[in-house]
């Protein structure tokens, strides 16, 4: 349903250029939940805003295609794209308070969306917004509240109700549970999953929380330095992650099977996006690096059905997984 082909996004500042997304291609099917993970600054939010065409003024989509049901969003006018946002493509930001207007009541903000995209009469619009907030377990009396009168979890549920009210075909959720406690987080995700499945919409779920993504999504895409390192079905990733960065992320996350072992850390810093790397983006931090990794960029190659990895040494992934279990491996090999 969504297909991104060879997307490049750059940011210009003074005489410098940041290459934030490079040669990115991905697909999301209808009804699928795809998790996009990676460290802060790897390009996750930039990708989301590129899909919505809501990038900052100094950002440039230099090349590529973004196809929604076969229609190239990059070829649309600003007005045509504005009509698609909210109706066909919905966005759930990570900070609900910033997404709601503090000087307008919740009711007015929900109705505005309906008036903008439909010719629905007022009575029908009121019935629609009441049904929308009931679906996320919020009483209709809160329609008269201002955003500051609601808790963080309630505001996030309001955003979800607003997002799904027009039954979009694509939902983009950018860390929608950030700063929420674990109980509220699970409630939010349950509501989002239930409503997404009812609409059979595609969902792009952006997060840095690998455990959260693994329990919520069907498919995973691992980004690093503006590029895709690995993409596969979630069960493939959990059993046979094959890129050293993916393996490092897995062993850096705590789980209940651990018996007092120390967590692995990935030493070093993410690459400078103002400089184009000749080789693998991850080579400066990879414990299994070779001269080829420094000089030759690995292509995203298919190693199994639906499983692609950008690494020169995917044939040695089993050894990487075995050695990465030792906390000393990552430090000793550098």
Residues 93, 99 contacting (CB under 8 angstroms): yes
**Contacts of the segment 247-254: beta carbons below 8 A, 24+ positions apart:** 247/317, 247/320, 247/321, 247/324, 248/324, 248/330, 249/37, 249/210, 249/222, 250/210, 251/324, 251/325, 253/210, 253/211
Query: ∠3-174-297 over CA atoms, to 5°?
Result: 55
Domain ranges of the chain: 2-217, 222-332
CB atoms within 10 A of CB 116: 13
**How far does CA 311 lie from the centroid of its chain?**
22
Q: Which residue has the higher pLDDT, 253 or 297?
A: 297
Q: What is the pLDDT of residues 264-323, one digit of tens each?
A: 778 888 888 888 888 999 999 998 999 999 999 999 999 999 999 999 999 998 988 888
Q: How many CA atoms does the CB half-sphere of 148 hold within 13 Å?
A: 3
Q: Please determine, for residue 40, whether its predicted confidence score (pLDDT) is greater than 80.
A: yes
Lowest mean pLDDT among 8-22, 60-74, 162-176, 252-266: 252-266
d(CA 52, CA 220): 20
- The share of the chain scoring above pLDDT 90, in percent, equals 59
Whether the CB-CB separation of 1 and 30 falls below 8 Å is answered with: yes
Using DSSP, state whether 37 is helix, strand or coil.
strand
Q: Over the stretch 198-246, which tens digit does the pLDDT of each residue have?
A: 989 999 999 988 888 999 999 999 999 999 999 999 999 999 999 999 9
Please give the mean pLDDT across all residues of the chain: 89
Give 316's DSSP letter: G
pLDDT classification of 333: cutoffs 50, 70, 90 = very low
Two tokens at 128?
Answer: 């629609």
Q: Rounded CA gap, 300 and 233, in Å?
A: 15
Give whole-number Cα distances, 257 to 3, 213, 237, 243, 329, in Å. Answer: 37, 18, 17, 22, 20
pLDDT at 260: 64
Q: Strand order in 307-309's β-sheet?
A: 89-92, 170-174, 202-206, 33-37, 219-224, 227-233, 307-309, 301-304
Q: How confident is the model at residue 332 (pLDDT cuts 50, 70, 90)?
A: very low
* Cα–Cα distance for residue pair 234/175, rounded to 1 Å: 18
What does the pLDDT read at residue 255? 67
What is the 8-class DSSP label of residue 185? H
* 334 has pLDDT over 50: no
Average of per-residue pLDDT across 111-132: 91
Could you count the other beta carbons within 10 Å of the beta carbon of residue 62? Answer: 13
The rounded percent of the chain whose pLDDT value lies above 70 is 94
At residue 66 the predicted structure's pLDDT band, cuts being 50, 70 and 90, is: very high
Which of 1.10.540.10, 3.40.50.300, 3.40.980.10, 1.10.10.10 is the CATH number of 2-217? 3.40.50.300
At residue 176, the pLDDT reads 84
Q: What is the pLDDT of residue 256?
A: 63
């Amino acid at each position: 349903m969504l297909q991104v082909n060879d997307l490049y996004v750059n940011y210009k500042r003074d005489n410098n250029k940041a290459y934030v997304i490079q040669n990115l291609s991905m697909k999301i099917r209808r009804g699928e939940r795809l998790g996009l993970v990676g460290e802060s600054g790897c390009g996750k939010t930039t990708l989301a805003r590129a899909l919505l065409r809501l990038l900052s003024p100094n950002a440039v989509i230099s090349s590529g295609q973004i196809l929604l049901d076969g229609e190239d969003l990059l070829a649309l006018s600003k007005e045509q794209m504005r009509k698609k946002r909210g109706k066909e493509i919905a966005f759930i930001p990570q900070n609900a308070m910033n997404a709601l207007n503090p000087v307008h009541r919740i009711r007015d903000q929900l109705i505005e969306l309906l008036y903008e995209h439909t010719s629905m009469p007022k009575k029908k619009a009121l019935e629609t917004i009441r049904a929308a907030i009931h679906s996320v377990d919020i009483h209709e009396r809160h329609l008269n509240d201002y955003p500051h009168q609601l808790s963080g979890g309630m505001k996030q549920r309001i955003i979800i109700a607003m997002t799904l009210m027009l039954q979009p075909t694509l939902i983009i959720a950018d860390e929608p549970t950030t700063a929420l406690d674990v109980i509220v987080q699970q409630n939010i995700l349950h509501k989002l999953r239930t409503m997404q499945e009812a609409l059979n919409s595609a969902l792009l779920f952006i997060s840095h929380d690998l455990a959260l993504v693994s329990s919520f999504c069907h498919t995973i895409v691992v980004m690093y330095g503006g590029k895709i390192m690995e993409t596969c079905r979630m069960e493939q990733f959990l059993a046979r992650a094959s890129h050293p960065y993916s393996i490092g992320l897995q062993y850096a996350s705590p789980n209940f099977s651990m018996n007092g072992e120390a967590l692995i850390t990935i030493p070093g810093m993410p690459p400078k996006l103002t400089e184009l790397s000749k080789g693998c983006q991850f080579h400066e931090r990879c414990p299994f690096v070779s001269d080829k990794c420094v000089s030759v960029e690995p292509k995203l190659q298919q190693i199994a059905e639906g499983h692609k990895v950008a690494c020169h040494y995917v044939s040695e992934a089993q050894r990487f997984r075995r050695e990465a279990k030792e906390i000393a491996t990552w430090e000793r090999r550098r």
